[in-house]
Amino acid sequence: MTKAELVAAIAEKGGYNTKKDAEKALAAVIDSITDALVNGDKVSLVGFGTFEVRHRAAKDAINPATKKPVHVDAKDVPAFKAGKALKDAVNK
């Protein structure tokens, strides 16, 4: 599903008058989740899942193209853990 398809589905299911209104709603949700993660908060949507920031430690790896060792710095990455209701819906 593309963003345009998602906006169309939100407009239809959410009862928005226009796709533009649905796109604003989607943008607000995405921006709010992004802002919370940037601030180090966790976003839990009961029945759907949890968005959080996880820390990846520095490591040494091998570049598969050149076979030379490279150092990968530590970094924070966004993560999503699906909730039970979402897992159950997908596995039906």
In DSSP notation, the chain reads --HHHHHHHHHHHHT-SSHHHHHHHHHHHHHHHHHHHHTT--EEETTTEEEEEEEE--EEEE-TTT--EEEE--EEEEEEEE-HHHHHHHT-
Counting the structural domains of the chain, the total is 2
pLDDT at 67 over 90: yes
Owning domain of residue 31: 1-40
- Identify the pLDDT of residue 17: 87
Both 65 and 20 in one domain: the answer is no
Both 82 and 92 in one domain: the answer is yes
Domain CATH number, residue 70: 4.10.520.10
Both 32 and 48 in one domain: the answer is no
Both 49 and 90 in one domain: the answer is yes
Both 47 and 35 in one domain: the answer is no
pLDDT at 57 over 90: yes
